[in-house]
Amino acid sequence: MTAGEAAALETRGLCKSFGALAVASDINFRLERAARHALIGPNGAGKTSFLDLVTGRFPPSAGRILLGGADVTALAQEQRVKRGLARTFQITTLFRGLSVLDNVCMATSERLGRAGDLFRPAGSRRDVIDGAYASLERLGLADDAPRVVRELPYGRQRLVEIAVALSLKPEVLLLDEPAAGVPSAESGIIVDVIESLPSEIAVLIIEHDMDLVFRLASRITVLVQGKVLVEGTPQEIAANPAVREVYLGERAPT
């Protein structure tokens, strides 16, 4: 880690334990600007916990988190979002009783700083609605705009998650198993969407499907038991004996 341009996201000596269980120990991690970076590891390796730490869902026991070079360790979750950090969840987390458009409007309205407005009607915010509509169109979700989220097929819901995250106009986007649980016929659309994300966004993706990882990522970090086992290019990772032993050993070789 040399001086120079600050990484889009960086953690230094990040630790977190719940009682005796250490979900993160001394994680030093850099997500470069505009990177396509994958985080892999066996189940329970602490991948999602790492995302939770970075986004501020819970505070670390030790260590620092830097966003674009600025220390955000002490900032609340929402303040990190305001600084350009967005995520999707492994288990779809949306406003299930609201329409797709409402879901995206809510995020857009937060980004534009309108969401605290007590008196102007939400429906009169053209900028919000048009912005939200545009994000939906971009992901091919315009048809679904009026539909209530819980009535959508799962694959579409996953797309809405991404649309919501994108409507925050993030500089760093964390995707937690975006295609998990989606039938393969539909997961193709999600992969296409991820591949066509604006290149200036730094993307960190947690994924189990190794084909997907190799297709999407130019750098890979392997996490095992809350520790970084190794980091490198896909070729280096594929050739690394320790990875083969720990990671591929647990899963059926693909």
Partner 1 sequence: MMARNHSRSLISVADGLRELFSLAATAGSGGGAARRTPSQMPNAVDVLRRSHRLRPLETLPWLVAAAAFFLLPDYLALGAQILLAVLFALSLDLILGYAGIVSLGHAAFFGVGAYAAGLLAVHGWGEPLSGLVVAGIAAGLIGMLSGAVILRTRGLTLLMLTLMIAAMLQEAANKAGAITGGTDGLQGMQVSPVFGLFRFDVFGHTAYVYCLTVLFLGWLAARRIVHSPFGRGLIGIRESEERMRAIGSPVFRRRLVIYAISAALAGIAGGLMAQTTQFVALDALGFERSGTVLIMLILGGVGRLYGAFIGAPLYMILQDRFAQQDPVYWYFWIGLLLVLVVVFARGGVLGIGERLVRRRSRRS
Q: Would you tell me which residues interact with partner 1 (CB under 8 A)?
A: 55, 57, 76-79, 81-82, 86-87, 89, 93-99, 101-102, 105-107, 109-111, 114-125, 128-129, 133, 136-137, 142-143, 145-148, 151, 164-165, 168
Which C-beta is closer to partner 1: that of 8 or that of 152? 152
Q: Supply the minimum distance, in Å, between the C-beta of residue 106 and partner 1.
A: 5
Per DSSP, the three-state class of 177 is coil
Q: Supply the minimum distance, in Å, between the C-beta of residue 34 and partner 1.
A: 22
Q: Supply the minimum distance, in Å, between the C-beta of residue 169 and partner 1.
A: 11
Backbone angles phi and psi of 65, in degrees to 5: -125, 130
Backbone angles phi and psi of 186, in degrees to 5: -90, -25
Cβ atoms of 85 and 9 within 8 Å: the answer is yes
The tokens describing 114, both together, are: 């309108």
234 vs 49, 127, 146, 162, CA distance in Å? 23, 42, 41, 24
Residues composing the chain: 254
Tokens 């990772």 locate to 237
Q: Measured over all CA atoms, what is the biggest interatomic distance in the chain, rounded to whole angstroms?
A: 61
Cβ atoms of 13 and 73 within 8 Å: the answer is no
Which C-beta is closer to partner 1: that of 87 or that of 219? 87
CA pair distance 199, 41, nearest whole angstrom: 25
Backbone angles phi and psi of 101, in degrees to 5: -60, -45
Q: Supply the minimum distance, in Å, between the C-beta of residue 78 and partner 1.
A: 5
Per DSSP, the three-state class of 3 is coil
Cβ atoms of 237 and 243 within 8 Å: the answer is yes
Which C-beta is closer to partner 1: that of 70 or that of 242? 70
Q: Supply the minimum distance, in Å, between the C-beta of residue 83 and partner 1.
A: 9
Which C-beta is closer to partner 1: that of 113 or that of 253? 113
Q: Supply the minimum distance, in Å, between the C-beta of residue 178 and partner 1.
A: 14
Which C-beta is closer to partner 1: that of 168 or that of 190? 168
* N-terminal to C-terminal alpha carbon distance within the chain: 33
Which C-beta is closer to partner 1: that of 148 or that of 230? 148
Which C-beta is closer to partner 1: that of 94 or that of 222? 94
Q: Supply the minimum distance, in Å, between the C-beta of residue 119 and partner 1.
A: 5
CA pair distance 52, 203, nearest whole angstrom: 16
